[in-house]
Chain A
Amino acid sequence: NAGVTQTPKFRILKIGQSMTLQCTQDMNHNYMYWYRQDPGMGLKLIYYSVGAGITDKGEVPNGYNVSRSTTEDFPLRLELAAPSQTSVYFCASSYLEGSSEAFFGQGTRLTVV
């Protein structure tokens, strides 16, 4: 049972480049999230999805896009990378119930230069 898998683990992008962070889960969870983690700032929610075909903005969505075509996959797209997007990105998933535990991937460390 792999849980939540993120790829890549590390990436360096040049300003203006684009990339997709991949996230897949094998637990049949309805809910999926993307967070970014910056030192001393905790985790900020970028986007979330309550099921295939349904996505919504979180706290810091600017500069990002998502899609959810299947229950398993929830990719995060950066269209025009900026230095402010240098961060560690975490994907997570949970059952569709407020008291459910969220399961996290190992993270993607992204540097924009």
Chain B
Amino acid sequence: AQSVTQLGSHVSVSEGALVLLRCNYSSSVPPYLFWYVQYPNQGLQLLLKYTSAATLVKGINGFEAEFKKSETSFHLTKPSAHMSDAAEYFCAVSPRGGSNYKLTFGKGTLLTVNP
């Protein structure tokens, strides 16, 4: 069974600082990997996803993530935080192959950006 772990339920950074949100997955075969963002009182929207091409994936709003098979990780980064990045971020996995496409989510990381 697949699972995903997000290290740190709350991350606080200063505006302009590096953002690093951690995600590790557990799966016998490297899954599809996603990062979603949720702004207050809204649904989730896709930031970026890893399918099978380049291991460094660029997403919206300046975010990127790197797939590292040896570390079973898919950490999300942004070089310089902006106040508008304050939100909750979810890492998710979907199995590769077969007919089961269920998305499994991590518990989320709340990002606070301080002025």
Contacts and interface: CB of A to CB of B under 8 A. Distances in A.
Nearest to B110: A40
B28 to A, nearest CB: 15
A48 B99 CA distance: 13
Given A48-B102, A58-B102, A98 B95 contact: yes
Contacts of A42: 90, 105-108
Interface stretch (B13-21, B37-45, B72-80): B37-45
Nearest to A102: B103
B13 to A, nearest CB: 20
B103 A41 contact: no
Contacts of B104: 45
Contacts of A105: 43
A99 B41 CA distance: 26
Contact of A96 (B41, B101, B108): B101
A99 B32 contact: yes
A90 B103 CA distance: 13
B92 to A, nearest CB: 8
B103 A106 contact: no
Given A31-B101, A33-B103, A42-B105, A99 B49 contact: yes
B102 A94 contact: no
B22 interface: no
Contacts of A50: 99, 101
20 contacts: A33-B103, A40-B9, A42-B90, A42-B105, A42-B107, A42-B108, A43-B90, A48-B102, A50-B99, A92-B103, A98-B32, A98-B94, A98-B96, A98-B97, A99-B52, A101-B49, A102-B44, A104-B43, A107-B41, A107-B42
Given A40-B107, A42-B108, A92-B103, 10 more contacts: A31-B101, A35-B105, A45-B102, A96-B101, A98-B95, A99-B94, A101-B34, A101-B46, A106-B42, A106-B43
